[in-house]
Amino acid sequence: MKKIIKYVMTDILRNRIVLIYTVFLFITSLSMFSLEDNVNKGLLSLLNIILIIVPLVSIIFSTIYVYNSAEFIELLVSQPLRRKSIWLSLFTGLASSLALAFLVGTGIPVLIYQANNIGFMMIAMGILLSIIFVAIAMLAAVKMRDKAKGIGAAILLWLYFTLLFDGLVLFLLFQFADYPLEKPMVGVTALNPVDLGRILILLQMDVSAMMGYTGAVFKDFFGTYTGVMVSFVAMFMWILFPLWSSTRKFNRKDL
Amino acid sequence: METTVSMRTIFMIWLFLSGSLLAHAKILHVGIHQQFITIQAALSSASNGDTIWVEAGNYHEKNLLINKSIYLKGFGYPVLDGEKKYEVISVKANGVTIDGFKVIHSGVSSIEDYGGIKLYDCSGVTVQNNILEDNFFGVYVLHGNHCTIRNNRVSAYSVEEQQSGNGIHCWKSDSLSIIGNTISGHRDGIYFEFVTNSIIWRNNSFKNLRYGLHFMFSQNNTYVSNIFNNNGAGVAVMYSHGVKMFNNYFIENWGDAAYGLLLKEISDSYIGGNHFEKNTTGIYMEGASRINMEKNLFKDNGWGLKIQASCMDITLSKSDFIGNTFDVGTNGSLVLNNFNGNYWDKYEGYDLNRDAIGDIPYRPVSLYSMIVEKNPPAMMLFRSFITSLMDKTEKIIPSITPENLKDEHPMMKRQLN
């Protein structure tokens, strides 16, 4: 298993895309902190990167990588190796290299300029989102045999998590405006890792933002130790469930 | 020679006059080893214009009623204890000065408004340099005229609004000066009702249960350089005209119903040079009209300014909006107000002719802030991709946000520091 992980990682490094991604993250994060006179504004722009760019790169890169390694996977399957360990090594290789790219690219500037709770929460969420979207990408890739269809599905999934889900929530909020929706909303956020990450970061960052009763309800839940634990567990579920599902599918798949 | 004679005459006359005055104004000493042991005793043998010097110590005077124009001076903060039963000092004479006492434990009642120091129908009274602790009402002015409340420290420790009175409470008074007091832990820090032509200057009102400053039906008062921070619901001012507020600080008033400054039915007023920092809502205006607001700083608030559609003829100019979650919120599309020449840190326009004024107008109301106003749980989508996308679209083609609510001449640089 170790050998496969090592092979996947060196392959990704040789690919250079992840290196470019790291450099891109590094330069943008650094410039966001140094260009804005207001540190908070820099953090906000960084928040957008974490919530939009990181999932996008993770999901697209992973999907394409899995499709492109189809032959390599077939080769591995023909060896006396368990399919589960092949699939998990592939996941570990992808997830760790993308998480590492984020840690180096954004983590270092954040630690230089904002080494506090906000910074640590941002780094943690960025890493978790990278891994989650690798897991989701692998599920999409294993479900679709056709490459174009698979990549399309990955883009749609990204669109869903970053945009459509929130639109749906907004729609529901207006449909059920007469009901007290604050508490159910806490549960609804757990259905989208991007929202979960955003709220966890915002609660560290911007007290003024989460105002009013909704803010109070969110703060009561996410602001406590249990709340943070529960949301981290929810984030890990977002890794484990797609991964478990895709592993099962891969085990039975006729390659 | 002649001049020296006249000088001598004047000096003699002066000596005679002052001598006669001194002969009339006695100084009565109160203390354990003094002529009088209680203030009450000294008071009954005093006459108008006398001075009573009180040494440090504990005095249980029950209710000390001052009905002569005297100067009551405490040394080393003599303690006047109301034993949780009495009103500590009641003043019912003109020209009284109360200086340097520590007034504690007034009675608490739901029928009577007991005060630590209460002034009844009097004028020219000065209350200064006192410490008022754990009283129901701190200083209470009832029908006062030309009274001065200066440099007092007023604090209380109640947890419930019902069990607590106001720090400095003024009712039906005129020409008061409230200067340099520190007030905390009361229901309202400073409370005015039917008070006119007064000045409130350099007070510090913090951690009060309800409002730092609260006034109603109080016309033509001026508020200068006060600090209101961390009060339960900020500052609320209602049903008044001719309000002038200069250089006050409204800081850290947090909560669902907390406002830096709440203006309700205020007209013909001026609000300038004030700082609104870290409040849930910097200024909330309802039914306000003809108000000139300029050179104010709105920084790190949830909402910088909430201006309801019931307001008219509000001029907002030369102000800075920095780091607010939402700069301006409103509830309707009717705009009868004028925004001009402010600095907005969210402004994304340009300045081609380099006159420091942005070339395209700035619309401070975002679509998302309108949505949150209508549907508060939508706050959950704060800073998400979809809301910023909606805001951007709305900025280009306004459809829901009021089209006329805009700053035609937004500044490119901060104007205040």
Helix A39-48 vs helix A117-143: crossing angle, to nearest 10: 10
- State the first-to-last Cα distance of chain A, in angstroms, to the nearest integer: 20
**CA proximity to A138, closest of A98, A88, A100, A97:** A88
CB B125 within 8 A of CB B96: yes
Of the partner residues B371, B377, B385, the one whose CB lies closest to the CB of residue A185: B377
What residue of B is the nearest CA neighbor of A180?
Answer: B377
Q: Please give the distance of CA B147 from its chain centroid, rounded to a whole number.
A: 16
Domain count across chain B: 1
Q: Within 10 Å of residue A252's Cβ, how many Cβ atoms?
A: 7
> Is this complex's ipTM strictly greater than 0.90?
no
CB B186 within 8 A of CB B165: yes
Cα Rg for chain A, rounded, in angstroms?
19
CB B75 within 8 A of CB B50: no
The reply to whether A39 touches chain B by the CB within 8 Å rule is no
CA–CA distances in Å: residue B212 to residues A2, B184, B227, B250? 66, 8, 9, 9
Of the partner residues A40, A52, A189, the one whose CB lies closest to the CB of residue B385: A52
CA distance A125 to A128: 5
What is the mean predicted confidence (pLDDT) over B109-135?
93
Q: What is the pLDDT along chain A (255 residues), one digit of tens a residue?
A: 788 899 989 998 888 899 999 999 999 999 988 887 677 778 888 888 899 999 999 999 999 999 999 999 999 999 998 999 999 999 999 999 999 999 999 999 999 888 888 899 999 999 999 999 999 999 999 999 899 999 999 999 999 999 999 999 999 999 998 888 888 888 888 899 999 999 888 888 766 555 566 777 777 788 788 888 999 999 999 999 999 999 999 999 887
CA angle A96, A41, A238 (to 5 degrees): 30
pLDDT digits (tens, 9 = 90+) for B71-120: 999 999 999 999 999 999 999 999 999 999 999 999 988 888 899 999 99
pLDDT of residue B1: 46
Dihedral of CA atoms A207, A209, A210, A211 in degrees, nearest 10, equals 100
Range of the structural domain that residue B203 is part of: 26-232
Of the partner residues B325, B371, B376, the one whose CB lies closest to the CB of residue A214: B376
Distance from CA of A201 to the nearest CA of B (A): 11
pLDDT of residue B392: 86
Of the partner residues A41, A166, A174, the one whose CB lies closest to the CB of residue B384: A166
Q: Which of B379, B400, B414 to mutate to test the interface with A (most CBs of A within 10 A)?
A: B379
What is the mean predicted confidence (pLDDT) over B170-188?
95
Put simply, the chain A residues between 125 and 184 with a CB less than 8 A from any chain B CB are: 162-163, 166-167, 169-170, 173-174, 177, 181-182
pLDDT digits (tens, 9 = 90+) for A59-99: 999 999 999 999 999 999 999 989 999 999 999 999 999 99
CA distance A111 to A98: 18
Question: Which residues is B191 bridged to in the sheet?
Answer: B169, B214
Q: Which of A52, A54, A170 to mutate to test the interface with B (most CBs of B within 10 A)?
A: A170
pLDDT digits (tens, 9 = 90+) for B226-238: 999 999 888 999 9
Question: Which residues is B249 bridged to in the sheet?
Answer: B227, B275
- Chain B residues within 8 angstroms (CB to CB) of chain A: 254, 256, 278, 280, 300-303, 322-325, 345, 371, 374-389
Dihedral of CA atoms A98, A104, A105, A111 in degrees, nearest 10, equals 130
CB contact under 8 A, A213 and B302: no
CB B265 within 8 A of CB B237: no
Whether residue B199 is predicted with pLDDT greater than 80 in this model: the reply is yes
Enumerate the residues of chain B whose CB falls inside 8 A of the CB of residue A173.
375, 377-378
CB B246 within 8 A of CB B274: yes
CA distance B211 to B167: 11
DSSP structural state of residue B172 = E
Helix-strand-coil split of chain B, %, nearest 5: 15, 40, 45
Going A23 to A27 to A32 to A37, the CA torsion angle's sign is positive
Enumerate the residues of chain B whose CB falls inside 8 A of the CB of residue A53.
none
Enumerate the residues of chain A whose CB falls inside 8 A of the CB of residue B388.
48
pLDDT digits (tens, 9 = 90+) for A43-60: 888 888 899 999 999 999
DSSP per residue, B258-295: -EEEEEEEEEEEEEES-EEES-SEEEEEES-EEEEEES
Report the CATH number at residue B92: 2.160.20.10
Query: Which residue type sits at A136?
Result: I
Q: Is there a domain that residue B241 lies in? A: no
Whether residue B6 is predicted with pLDDT greater than 50 in this model: the reply is yes
Place of tokens 């039914």: B287
| B6-20, B93-107, B241-255, B399-413: least confident range | B6-20
The reply to whether A218 touches chain B by the CB within 8 Å rule is yes
pLDDT digits (tens, 9 = 90+) for B325-358: 889 988 888 888 999 999 998 898 899 999 999 9
**CA proximity to B410, closest of B343, B316, B320, B345:** B343
Distance from CA of A97 to the nearest CA of B (A): 26
pLDDT of residue B37: 92
Higher pLDDT: A253 or B271? It is B271
Of the partner residues B256, B303, B386, the one whose CB lies closest to the CB of residue A167: B386
Q: Is there a domain that residue B251 lies in? A: no
Q: Is there a domain that residue B134 lies in? A: yes
CA distance B415 to B341: 10
Q: Is there a domain that residue B334 lies in? A: no
Distance from CA of A77 to the nearest CA of B (A): 41
CA distance B173 to B194: 7
Tokens of A216: 């109070």
Enumerate the residues of chain B whose CB falls inside 8 A of the CB of residue A214.
376-380
DSSP structural state of residue B408 = S
Tokens of B317: 């100019």
DSSP structural state of residue B132 = E
- φ and ψ at residue A242, rounded to 5 degrees: -60, -35
Whether residue B20 is predicted with pLDDT greater than 60 in this model: the reply is no
CA distance A238 to B257: 37
Q: Within 10 Å of residue A254's Cβ, how many Cβ atoms?
A: 4
CA distance B163 to B141: 20
CB contact under 8 A, B381 and A206: no
Enumerate the residues of chain B whose CB falls inside 8 A of the CB of residue A177.
374-375
CA distance B212 to B187: 8
pLDDT of residue B311: 93
**CA proximity to B298, closest of B320, B316, B271:** B320
Contacts of B9 (CB under 8 A, 6+ apart): none
**CA proximity to B61, closest of B103, B110, B114, B100:** B103
CB contact under 8 A, B386 and A170: yes
Q: pTM to 2 decimals?
A: 0.82
3-state secondary structure of B189: coil
Enumerate the residues of chain A whose CB falls inside 8 A of the CB of residue B367.
none
CB contact under 8 A, A189 and B380: yes
